[in-house]
Amino acid sequence: MPKIFRFYIRHCLIGFAISGIFTALLMYFNVANLWHLISTSDIGLMALTVFWVLNGIVFAGAQTAVAVLLMTEPEDKGPRGGKGVRVPALAYASKR
């Protein structure tokens, strides 16, 4: 498998794991009374799964984006600045 696919899959799995932790914490602290709504509903398991998957998509995208942005190479520390090369600017005077 190419390295780019392994990179993407690895960071998507990390994002979904973070989403699982996030969902578990939301349920544990009963934020917005979510745990009560899910535990007393007959389709609570489906709601919890949808909540986890949709958050997983967001966290996987964010994790992959952060990983790509952190892949920068160190900047070249070679000579910088200096004086530019002078180029003659030709200007023609108009006749009156």
The pLDDT of residue 92: 84
pTM for this prediction: 0.73
Residues contacting residue 64 through CB under 8 Å, at least 6 positions apart: 8, 11, 12, 15
Q: Which residue has the tokens 């799964």?
A: 49
Instruction: Kindly state the tokens that stand for 15.
Output: 């994002």
Instruction: Kindly state the tokens that stand for 10.
Output: 């690895």
Cα(38)–Cα(92) distance, integer angstroms: 80
Cα(69)–Cα(71) distance, integer angstroms: 5
Give the domain ranges of the chain. Answer: 3-69
Report DSSP state, residue 30. Answer: T
The pLDDT of residue 52: 98
The pLDDT of residue 82: 73
Span 70-94, pLDDT tens digits: 998 877 676 667 777 888 888 888 8
Which residues of the chain fall below pLDDT 50?
none
The pLDDT of residue 79: 64
